[in-house]
Amino acid sequence: MSRGKQFLSDNAASVHPAVWEAMKAADTADAPYDGDALSRRMDDAFGELFARECSVLWAATGTAANCLALGTMVQPHGGVICHREAHIEMDEGGAPGFYLHGAKLLLADGDGAKLTPETIAAVADAVREGVHQVHPHAISITQASEYGRAYRPAELAAIGALSRERALPLHMDGARFANAAAFLGCSAAEAAGPVDALSFGCVKNGGMNAEAIVFFAPGLADVARFRLKRAGQLQSKGRFLAAQILAMVEGGLWLANARAANAAAQEIAGAAGDRLLHPVEANELFVRCSAEERAALRGQGFGFYDWGTGAGRFVTAWNTRPDDALALAKALASL
Amino acid sequence: MSRGKQFLSDNAASVHPAVWEAMKAADTADAPYDGDALSRRMDDAFGELFARECSVLWAATGTAANCLALGTMVQPHGGVICHREAHIEMDEGGAPGFYLHGAKLLLADGDGAKLTPETIAAVADAVREGVHQVHPHAISITQASEYGRAYRPAELAAIGALSRERALPLHMDGARFANAAAFLGCSAAEAAGPVDALSFGCVKNGGMNAEAIVFFAPGLADVARFRLKRAGQLQSKGRFLAAQILAMVEGGLWLANARAANAAAQEIAGAAGDRLLHPVEANELFVRCSAEERAALRGQGFGFYDWGTGAGRFVTAWNTRPDDALALAKALASL
Amino acid sequence: MSRGKQFLSDNAASVHPAVWEAMKAADTADAPYDGDALSRRMDDAFGELFARECSVLWAATGTAANCLALGTMVQPHGGVICHREAHIEMDEGGAPGFYLHGAKLLLADGDGAKLTPETIAAVADAVREGVHQVHPHAISITQASEYGRAYRPAELAAIGALSRERALPLHMDGARFANAAAFLGCSAAEAAGPVDALSFGCVKNGGMNAEAIVFFAPGLADVARFRLKRAGQLQSKGRFLAAQILAMVEGGLWLANARAANAAAQEIAGAAGDRLLHPVEANELFVRCSAEERAALRGQGFGFYDWGTGAGRFVTAWNTRPDDALALAKALASL
Amino acid sequence: MSRGKQFLSDNAASVHPAVWEAMKAADTADAPYDGDALSRRMDDAFGELFARECSVLWAATGTAANCLALGTMVQPHGGVICHREAHIEMDEGGAPGFYLHGAKLLLADGDGAKLTPETIAAVADAVREGVHQVHPHAISITQASEYGRAYRPAELAAIGALSRERALPLHMDGARFANAAAFLGCSAAEAAGPVDALSFGCVKNGGMNAEAIVFFAPGLADVARFRLKRAGQLQSKGRFLAAQILAMVEGGLWLANARAANAAAQEIAGAAGDRLLHPVEANELFVRCSAEERAALRGQGFGFYDWGTGAGRFVTAWNTRPDDALALAKALASL
């Protein structure tokens, strides 16, 4: 179950034993779709985690989770303000265009792939009045961001204030929400801030193929339920998805796994020093290194992706072995 | 892992031990998405099964499999000829409208929810020339049909001939393909006939959450691959889906499980006699019985769905216990 | 400008002189799109006609008008209850699937292509609870219907009551609304009944290429405005569309033209006697006649469409010459 | 019919008398939709103009023309490479997202809102292989561009070569195609270059509400015909649109009108001198001037739009009076 010296991504890591166990325990036949006892337990589990009432659905992928959440907020003629390097813009194969029936992503700037009230407002304000341009209907942020940066609670509060002021519901892509929360050292509620819907990631954090969609704003889940079925995402043995999610959430595994991944990242970050393109706040490292240096690292058995022409991206996971992290740290230090 | 005296559906049955085993064996990290060794083995596995070259993708649900297959055949302004009781029309929450971007289902008749060349042609011929009505772009049939009826190889050949004559690609919804093949006692190739794409069901037959989409016509899979990602169906740990499918196909489990389910259905069918609304050819039984009789059966612990006001639907599964089938048979005989 | 002995359709008839005059008068440059003085006058003009506050947009075709109206009522995962012979189902080339992003038409029955509360409820009630089937979000009726039948005020009230009870907004396709109102001899408001949106036809009634979309329910027009632009329907010289519509509405031309067409139809109906498949209440006649009889009529110079194999459809227009109507009446009487 | 001292846009200018005349002449009833004699004459008229076989449809707006053309080239999961200031990106209210079913605009750079082979290739090359990013399916350029710049025949040839090399069909938004051709002083064929489809503008050039969609690549028009109906763009009295287009094309009015507009623009350009943000090659002028200067101009009765905070946009039309152009030239010179 080891990932060896691989730092390619956390998205294909092994499944955590506790998740396996929960899935096996779910094998007894139960009501189909989301009518089973486990699926029905999700609202309470997340309600407790976030200390806030919520309705929770599952989906097989983060792409589906993001798009189903946004689909409750955005009409087909509207748009979503997101960072120009957001996953929904860069890596989802046009899924937002599909799920949102042609709605448009309105791209905003921000350091470390994080939005600010100013960059959001700049996009919104640039839209001319009238019907000739697409108006924003929602905002989507990523916690932790695509560069592994975490929004602080105060930053979330400020974005939330803008969201309410402009009547633009707020979505959070939390594919690595756990890593952000672990870094921030705050409660789940504080790490989410005043979002209306959250894609709560499990797959990158020791799950197999289940992500949670947490709706805090009332009414949204009722729409999402229909859209989820219509998107071919309603699995008849949904209890196996709920089992994964509950295994993550109910016992605190989500946080423990994220802490392990973050710790490995910090070990490496310490050695990377000023080679780091971005402060390391979650489990992703963007490290400046030449093609020759990258070749040397690969020669030592390390797996990772090139990031542009002058850097590499290294990602740790819940099961990154301390020895492997240490070895990478040493290798980077010796470059 | 037993389903007790439940005959509600096969869609929530337990997962077969061999499937579990294959999933566990796939836990070692591998390339993400469909780049792993298992996903790459599917083409060969199905090529051997059908003795015909093919490209195979996985998806989490039958709805997704059907719609992704049809999406390669139908333009948004076109239509799909299908039976008016087909799953894509009746039970997929409008997914075809979503995946096919507003294309239309053109509803045809036929006994036992099976189409014939005549009923297909009747629909196609009724469309006026010109652009004022939606023209068919494809045909979709279900093997076994929604009433548990199997298309014979000669019937498939006749529909295939029409499909080629009219240049309407042919899709087969094979959510219960295994049950049909088991009943027909023919090869997989014969049970599929000259289809261009097949949704090969696993979930109802002992799988967890993986269906195979088998493309026989060249080129279609290349389009479907993009659509699959865009639909949020491309799981990063796709090896767990491939593992399920290969466990089904490579060792013949698909057929063994279907035979078990069919045998249980035949046991019950023998007792239901002329109460049967449809000949039992797969694992579904539609049994005429009054509200009182249904209440009596439920009083004895049997679970099943009402079918309209004068009948019940009973479905067996790969793990229906012979004792339970026998018990139901006796109960029906004593009504 | 005569249509000769043509009874093919009213949809390609000449444009009424008063409409031409209004268009010419609109030629002076004005604000683009719908910002011109004429477009801005439409709300008041229709508000007066219907004695009810409303917001009015224009579109080039009835198909666009219908679909833009329905688009304000129906989410992509929903459906529209309409008659199985409704224009949106039979003759709009799948436009509802496009404009409504894959929403579904849910087909209901009814004599003369008219719905009743009972047939509407039958469709709604047949939809299973839960997400596996498409639920209705709106109702669409046609005044006059596809068979030239007019809904009486009491019938509209009954459908309106159901619409409110079920929270299903009500749309009326009024491509031939004027003909229905002329037949009923009631006010425009009574002929519309409690609808939330009305496609008010002009093209078939002496206009060139402008239909009005009248929104009675508040808020809908604000959505439709964006959808109209997005559909490529927002003409920059929109004043020429508004001019047509105002020419129709402000001076009562809509009613005068419809009365003329209806009178010609009645002339013919009187001669057709029990050959009529449907009572003639607007300007369409469905006349039972054999292939030989149809050939004979065509030999005498009459133009019309076959209606199935045993009938012909004859349509009068605002400019049908009394002599031509009389000639057809005589010809039918002599068959 | 004068526009006074208005330089706001050419999009709401009066209709040319010859266009009115042609429309009146079309008033005799004819076959509905595009079956009339005028609509059927368009292929030949444009075939002669471009000295190349083509299929021609009409639509009411440039937005519809662009989107219908692109819809024949781009699958829903694909993208269109266009300039980041292209009309389809900036001013069509999300219509491409609607007509192309969620396909994506892939934004490229280029001086004067013109693309080059290099900027097109840069966008195409930046798309990662595989299904995680949207791949381009087509290229769209604008002649004249959004800044009134004309592609030279050699530039078109170079883009055409790339288009063929990459198998990306080429679309041209020709809302002001006539102005570009008039400026270039070349044939229509040379001004179009090797495009596969051209939106040929009439509305801004003296028409009322008809644009031509010219398909040079075989097969595309057959798809567009269905999409046009489905988009609610198929007018039943289509002869009035064809009449406008033929009036423009058959007698050379398209070129004469554009020359008049261009001449007025040149008159003004001469006076604007180095205030011009872009060379004036068509009928649009972007003139650097302060808020005070703009207020002064408006005080003298000139109408125009602000362009950002330090410039104004002035547009001439076919019917701009020489006196008005001269007056504006003088006013600019005296600033």
User: Would you give the end-to-end CA distance of chain A in angstroms?
Assistant: 29
CA distance C140 to chain B (A): 18
Q: Is the pTM of this model over 0.90?
A: yes
Contacts of D225 in chain B (CB under 8 A): 131
- Report the side by side order of strands in the sheet with D311-315: D284-288, D311-315, D305-306
Q: Percentage of residues in chain A with pLDDT exceeding 90?
A: 96
Say if residue B278 is in the same domain as residue B229. no
Regarding whether B23 and B8 lie in a shared domain, the answer is no
C177 burial type by CB count under 10 A (0-12 exposed, 13-18 middle, 19+ buried): buried
pLDDT tens track for A156-200:
999 999 999 999 999 999 999 999 999 999 999 999 999 999 999
User: Is the CB of residue B157 less than 8 Å from the CB of residue B193?
Assistant: yes
CA quadruple C120, C172, D237, D99: dihedral sign: negative
Beta bridge partners of D142: D173
Q: Do residue D97 and residue A102 have CB atoms under 8 angstroms apart?
A: yes
Reduced to 3 states, what is the DSSP secondary structure of residue A31?
coil
Structure confidence at residue D124 as a pLDDT band (50, 70, 90): very high
- Collect all residues of chain D within an 8 Å Cβ-Cβ radius of residue C240: 15, 208-209
For residue range A213-259, list pLDDT tens digits in order.
Answer: 999 999 999 999 999 999 999 999 999 999 999 999 999 999 999 99
**Is residue D236 located within the same domain as residue D271?**
no
Q: For residue B2, is pLDDT > 70?
A: no
pLDDT digits (tens, 9 = 90+) for D192-221: 999 999 999 999 999 999 999 999 999 999
At B4 the pLDDT is 55
Q: Has residue A2 got a pLDDT over 90?
A: no
Q: Find, among A171, A237, A145, A188, the residue nearest to A52 by Cα.
A: A188
pLDDT per residue over A54-104, tens digit each? 999 999 999 999 999 999 999 999 999 999 999 999 999 999 999 999 999
Cβ proximity of C278 and C148 under 8 Å: yes
CB neighbour list of residue A254: distance below 8 Å, 6 or more residues apart: A178, A202, A205, A248
Q: Which residues of B touch C134 (CB under 8 A)?
A: 93-94, 97
Contacts of B68 in chain A (CB under 8 A): 232
CB pairs under 8 A, 24+ apart, for A38-45? A38/A239, A38/A242, A38/A243, A38/A246, A39/A238, A39/A239, A39/A241, A39/A242, A41/A242, A41/A246, A42/A212, A42/A242, A42/A245, A42/A246, A45/A245, A45/A246, A45/A249, A45/A250
* Same structural domain, B8 and B49: no
**Mean pLDDT, residues D64-68:** 98
The DSSP bridge partners found for residue B215 are B55, B197
Distance, in Å, from the CA atom of D191 to the CA atom of D185, rounded to the nearest integer, reads 9
Tell me which chain C residues have a C-beta less than 8 angstroms from the C-beta of A229.
Answer: 131-132
DSSP collapsed to 3 states, B156-222: HHHHHHHHHHCCCCEEEEECCHHHHHHHHCCCHHHHHCCCCEEEECCHHHCCCCCEEEEECCCCHHH
Q: Which of D75, D131, D234 sits opposite B131 (nearest CB)?
A: D234
The burial class, CB within 10 Å (0-12 / 13-18 / 19+), for B109 is middle
Between the alpha carbon of residue B204 and those of residues B65, B71, B184, the distances in Å are: 14, 23, 19
Could you give the angle at the alpha carbon of D326 between the alpha carbons of D305 and D143, nearest 5°? 55
Same domain membership, residue B70 and residue B151 = yes
Mutate one of C8, C14, C230, C318 to test the D interface: name it (highest D CB count within 10 A): C230
The residue with tokens 């559909």 is C231
Q: Report the amino acid identity of residue A310.
A: G
Q: Which of B86, B105, B97, B93 has the alpha carbon at shortest distance from B143?
A: B86
- Domain coverage including residue B284: 3-12+258-333
Smallest Cβ distance to D131: which of B77, B131, B234?
B234
- Which pLDDT does position A3 carry in this prediction? 44
Domain final position from A203, A224, A253: A253
Output the domain CATH number for residue A8: 3.90.1150.10
Query: Helix B239-249 to helix B253-272 angle, to the nearest 10 degrees?
Result: 60
Q: Can you give the three-state secondary structure of C283-315, one letter per residue?
A: CEEEEECCHHHHHHHHHCCCECEEECCCEEEEE
Angle at A308 between CA A304 and CA A312, to 5 degrees: 30
What single string gives the DSSP state of each residue in C11-72? TTPPPPHHHHHHHHHT-S---STT-SHHHHHHHHHHHHHHTS--EEEEESSHHHHHHHHHHT
Sign of CA dihedral B165, B169, B174, B178: positive
Q: What percent of chain A has pLDDT over 70?
A: 99
Q: D222, D253, D284: which is the final residue of a domain?
A: D253
**Beta carbons of B102 and C104 less than 8 Å apart:** no
CATH classification of the domain holding C152: 3.40.640.10
- Type of residue numbered D248: M
The model's pLDDT over A287-315, given as tens digits with 9 standing for 90+, comes to 999 999 999 999 999 999 999 999 999 99
State the nearest Cα–Cα gap between B87 and chain D, in angstroms: 24
Residue D4 is predicted with a pLDDT of 55
Which residue in C75, C222, C235 has the most chain A C-beta atoms within 10 A of its own C-beta, making it the best mutation to test that interface?
C75
Count the domains in chain D.
Answer: 2
Q: Which residues of chain C have pLDDT under 70?
A: 1-4
User: Per the CB < 8 Å rule, is C234 touching A131?
Assistant: yes
* Alpha-carbon span D317 to D319, nearest angstrom: 5
Q: Does residue D291 register a pLDDT over 60?
A: yes
Chain A and chain D share a number of CB contacts under 8 A equal to 58
B135 chain-D contacts, CB cut-off 8 A: 226
Dist CA A23 CA A17 (whole Å): 10
Measured between alpha carbons, how far is B279 from B329 in angstroms, rounded to an integer?
A: 16
Domain boundary among the residues C253, C282, C314 is at C253
Task: Give the distance from residue A234's alpha carbon to the nearest chain C alpha carbon, in angstroms.
Answer: 9
Q: How far apart are CA D324 and CA D264, in angstroms?
A: 9
State whether C101 and B100 contact (CB < 8 Å): no
* Residues from chain C contacting residue A76 (CB–CB below 8 Å): 76, 101, 230
C231 in the same domain as C273: no
Please report all neighbours of D, defined by 3+ CB atom pairs within 8 A. A, B, C
Rounded Cα distance, B252 and B249, in Å: 5
Q: How far is A270 from chain D (nearest CA, A)?
A: 31
Residues C226 and C203 in one domain: yes
Q: Which of D117, D268, D111, D254 is nearest to D177 (CA)?
A: D254
**Positive or negative CA dihedral for C322, C327, C328, C333?**
positive
> How many Cβ pairs within 8 Å bridge chains A and C?
34
- What pLDDT, on a 0 to 100 scale, did the predictor assign at position C5? 82
B108 and B224 assigned to the same domain: yes
Measured CA distances, C203 to B291, C255, D317 (Å):
55, 14, 30
* CB-CB under 8 Å, C76 with B133: no
Q: Mind listing the pLDDT tens digit for each residue in B39-69?
A: 999 999 999 999 999 999 999 999 999 999 9
Q: What band does B29 get if pLDDT is binned at 50, 70 and 90?
A: confident
Cβ pair B223:D132 closer than 8 A: no
User: Taking CB atoms and an 8 Å cutoff, what residues of chain A touch C131?
Assistant: 225-226, 228-230, 234
Q: Which ranges of A212-311 would DSSP assign to H, the alpha helix? A: 220-230, 239-249, 253-272, 291-299
**Which chains sit next to B, with 3 or more Cβ pairs under 8 A?**
A, C, D
Q: CB–CB of A146/A84 below 8 Å? A: no
Q: A334, A285, A333: which is closest to A311 by C-alpha?
A: A285
* Residue numbers in B near C94 (CB within 8 A): 77, 79, 102-104, 134
Under DSSP, is residue B146 helix (H, G, I), strand (E, B) or coil? coil
Identify whether residues D81 and D148 lie together within a single domain.
yes
State the burial class of residue A205 (Cβ atoms within 10 Å of its Cβ: 0-12, 13-18, 19+): buried
Closest partner CB to B77 (pick from D102, D135, D226):
D226
Q: How many other CB atoms are found less than 10 A from the CB of residue B297?
A: 22
Residues A234 and A306 occupy one common structural domain: no
CA atoms within 13 A on the CB side of A70: 32
Helix, strand, or coil here: B84? coil
D175 and D309 share one domain: no
Both B170 and B217 in one domain: the answer is yes
- Which pLDDT score is estimated for D2? 39
- How near does any CA of chain C get to the CA of B9, in Å? 15
